[in-house]
């Protein structure tokens, strides 16, 4: 059992690390949105970022939560989403990797994450990272204990331009072991004449990812991470459109 830490100390993490919708759903899909929020406690002064940078993609996956919520509603599926910015600690990164708590994200320096002491890192792990993954593990344990089918689906978004290079891709389906499941989704999006591909614009790796390798592949479950280009998720209408594309494929 992990040592208990008072997470409201210093007035920082006063709300839960995650939000859970439709916990008792019997739908086989378990939706996960690790980069749902850009919230950083006021006391941390946006980690030294200016207001513009703190609202950019480096702090959260723009549009991902709206899409995840709509899919949860459409499917009647459980959704586990983060309540804090990934700049505090990235819930889809193993704790040992450098960008678990990024000192730099893309072109932005993150002053509040530089030269952190071990106690601060541990504090964020215990208050934000472990509660989220403990909850995801418990949801899976319960379903498997009831001999139910489980598919773990992460919902993310990506930027239209990356380091100055435009991205033509509209959606990616990232996977490790669940090739057939991923290809089914890619093929389904292709039938809508969408530019979609497997393991683009990123690839899943046990060395750099958590949700798919640990909670999906590591437990023998079909698991994918869906990436939608965030300019496709800027209005309620476009979110509804993408939910309609994806829901029947999951």
The CATH homologous superfamily for domain 9-249 is Zn-dependent exopeptidases (3.40.630.40)
pLDDT of 93 strictly over 60: yes
Q: What is the mean pLDDT of residues 168-175?
A: 97
Compute the mean pLDDT over every residue in the chain, rounded to the nearest whole number.
94
Q: What percent of the chain has pLDDT over 70?
A: 97
CA 220 – CA 177 distance, rounded (Å): 8
Burial of 149 (0-12, 13-18, 19+ CB in 10 A): exposed
Q: What is the mean pLDDT of residues 113-129?
A: 94
Among 43-47, 85-89, 160-164, 232-236, the minimum mean pLDDT is found in 160-164
Task: Give the pLDDT of residue 1.
Answer: 37
pLDDT of 193 strictly over 60: yes
Using DSSP's 3-state secondary structure scheme, residue 70 falls into helix
In this prediction, residue 161 has a pLDDT band, given cuts at 50, 70 and 90, of confident
pLDDT of 171 strictly over 80: yes
pTM: 0.94
Q: What is the mean pLDDT of residues 130-142?
A: 98
Task: Give the pLDDT of residue 55.
Answer: 86
Phi, psi of 65 (to 5 degrees): -65, -45
In this prediction, residue 140 has a pLDDT band, given cuts at 50, 70 and 90, of very high
Task: Give the pLDDT of residue 4.
Answer: 53
pLDDT of 44 strictly over 90: yes
pLDDT tens profile 63-90: 999 999 999 999 999 999 999 999 999 9
CA 78 – CA 148 distance, rounded (Å): 14
In this prediction, residue 175 has a pLDDT band, given cuts at 50, 70 and 90, of very high
Task: Give the pLDDT of residue 76.
Answer: 98
Residue given tokens 């309540």 in the structure block: 83
Instruction: For the chain, list the strands marked E by DSSP.
Output: 18-21, 29-33, 78-82, 104-105, 108-109, 151-158, 161-162, 165-166, 171-174, 196-198, 222-229
CA 44 – CA 159 distance, rounded (Å): 26
pLDDT of 106 strictly over 80: no
Phi, psi of 143 (to 5 degrees): -65, -45
pLDDT of 36 strictly over 50: yes
Q: What is the mean pLDDT of residues 208-226?
A: 97
Q: What is the mean pLDDT of residues 12-35?
A: 96
The torsion of the CA quartet 226, 232, 233, 236, rounded to 10 degrees, works out to -130
pLDDT of 247 strictly over 70: yes
CA 211 – CA 240 distance, rounded (Å): 25
Q: What is the mean pLDDT of residues 33-39?
A: 98
């Amino acid at each position: 059992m992990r040592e208990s830490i008072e997470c409201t100390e210093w007035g920082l993490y006063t709300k839960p690390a995650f939000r859970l919708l439709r916990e008792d759903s019997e739908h086989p899909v378990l939706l996960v949105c690790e980069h749902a929020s850009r919230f950083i406690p006021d006391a941390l002064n946006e980690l030294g970022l200016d207001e513009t940078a703190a609202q950019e993609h480096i702090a959260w996956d723009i549009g991902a939560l709206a899409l995840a919520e709509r899919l949860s509603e459409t499917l009647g599926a459980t959704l586990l989403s983060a309540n804090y910015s990934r700049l505090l600690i990235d819930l889809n990164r193993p704790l040992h990797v450098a960008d678990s708590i990024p000192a730099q994200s893309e072109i932005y320096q993150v002053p509040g994450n530089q030269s952190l002491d071990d106690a601060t890192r541990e504090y964020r792990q215990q208050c934000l990272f472990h509660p989220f993954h403990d909850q995801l593990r418990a949801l899976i344990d319960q379903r498997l204990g009831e001999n139910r089918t489980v598919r773990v689906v992460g919902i993310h978004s990506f930027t239209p331009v990356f380091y100055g290079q435009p991205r033509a891709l509209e959606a990616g389906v990232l996977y490790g072991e669940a090739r057939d499941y991923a290809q089914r989704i890619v093929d389904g999006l292709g039938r809508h004449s969408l530019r979609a591909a497997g393991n683009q614009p990123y690839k899943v790796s046990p060395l750099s990812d958590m949700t798919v390798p640990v909670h999906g592949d590591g437990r023998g479950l079909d698991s994918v991470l869906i990436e939608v280009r965030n300019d496709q998720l800027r209005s309620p209408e476009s979110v509804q459109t993408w939910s309609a594309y994806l829901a029947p494929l999951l």
